[in-house]
Amino acid sequence: MADDALSEPDRTALAFVRAYAAAHGRPPSYVEIGAHLGLPHPNNAKRNCDRLVRLGRLKRDEVGVRAPGRPRVLELPGAQSDLVLPFRGAVSCGEPREPEDRDETIDLRAYLKATDAAVFRARGDSMIDAHIADGDLLVVAEDPDPPEGCVVVALVGEEMLCKRLVRKTRKGVLLEPCNGDRPPYVIDIKLVPFRFLGVLKNVIRKI
């Protein structure tokens, strides 16, 4: 179907998605599309986009990671993400080995996939034994009631912490750094506002 066969609202929405993706390297969210079209609610923009998906003019991004406030929900058909890279096979970290003859690609977005995920940047070195270094990006899946033993991001008062959750009770929470003999954090949740923001799913490091 040619663009001129689309309804005016759908044609305007599609043109905006194309222009936004070209300018920003990612598709816009429903909120951004709705704001451009002057729609009162993001659900109105979603209905426009649902029609374009059914017509094959847009497609769902099934493996994108949701950045805070900017869900990536759409892709342009035929567009290849910058995170789809050539895969050259295994490389030995021990004895040398012959290279593999591969003609494949690997979609790194699948390794970042997490339900209701957001990204935080690590600051400090208290989690280095959990392979989290200063400056790393943390892919965190929203979870208000995480299991003991996992690495969590939590809001303590007005400050955020990334620590390993050791124990939680009705009275308090025990959070532990992962760096030598640093003391744990014992938080009395009756005295200090506290909530879990999520569970660590992946760490991204730039060398």
3-state helix, strand, coil split of the chain in percent (to 5) is 25, 30, 45
Q: Based on the residue annotation, tell me whether 113 is a catalytic residue of this protein.
A: no
Exactly one of 46, 163, 168, 201 is catalytic; which is it?
163
Q: Which residues are CB-contacts of 84 (< 8 A; sequence separation ≥ 6)?
A: 105, 106, 107, 108, 109
Catalytic residue among 29, 126, 168, 201: 126
Query: Quick check: is 126 catalytic?
Result: yes
**Hey, which residues are catalytic here?**
126, 163
